[in-house]
Amino acid sequence: MEFKWIYQESTESLVRTFLKRQGISKKLLAKIKFQGGKILVNDTEQNVLFSLKTHDIVTVVIPDEEAHETLLADDVPIEIIFEDEHLLVVNKPAGIASIPAQYHPRGTMANRVKAYYVAQGYADQVVHVVTRLDRDTSGLMLFAKHGFAHAKLDQSLQQKKFVKKYQALVSGDVYALEEHGNISLPIGRDLSSLLRRQVIETGQKAETEYWLKKRNRHCALVDVQLHTGRTHQIRVHFSAIGCPLLGDELYDGALDQGIDRQALHCYSLTFPHPFKREQLSFTLPLAEDMATIAKTI
């Protein structure tokens, strides 16, 4: 894949310094050098110590990424929400893990995306997961289609340029919910369980913002935005305030409302495109099981 920039500064700069400002890491530079890539200045191959002058055209050719044999391909259709040469946004169904685990090498979204890349004959076939979702959470999931895009998106994540919103169905003391509220409670491991997290004084800072959409005596629909990214954060926080998610057996959610997984759906994703000067924003309706219950509220 080829990327091109025009050097606009009035003072000279090393190619290495300039490329670092464009988001190219030392690791990627090493890959370019040793795996068949190129760095060109004004169409002439140069190394990273070449000194750039104003209006020089810098071209970087990044070698293709061959597929990892350890990631198996599952030929199962995926619902594509958006795709270009750098990004892939899909709708992840509930009940599907994001990535494989040691004893579960198949049946994940990563396996399905791998099969899609193979079927399309893409030159870059490494699957780069940018935003994961829990197995039983449905909704928008973002993949980068090559390593440079992944690095740029990770940088945006660290700079908190992503806005990721969820909708959840909660039960319990729903009339105690405010129209707009913040849950700021530290989260740490529950030492009595391999999976559970809990609100605990010695835990990491965690903040969850929510907006009440509607409620009845059985449950409520809330919009949720995370301001930190702790494991199971939404599930732990709403359980801690007496409003666990419907279907969330791990955190004591009601299991008699017609849903057998945590009622959590990533419905909105907004972030800057890694290479174009535009903001991308995607929304996705509630999954069918959650939508059926939401209609009764």
Catalytic sites, residue numbers: 134
Nearest residue to 185 (alpha-carbon basis) of 246, 221, 234, 133? 234
Whose CA is closest to 257, among 247, 248, 249, 245? 247
DSSP 3-state assignment of 215?
strand
Distance between CA atoms of residues 165 and 140, nearest Å = 10
Cβ pair 129, 112 in contact under 8 A = no
Please name the helix (run of DSSP H) or strand (run of DSSP E) that holds residue 238, with its range, or none. Answer: helix 233-240
Report whether 140 contacts 81 (CB < 8 A).
yes
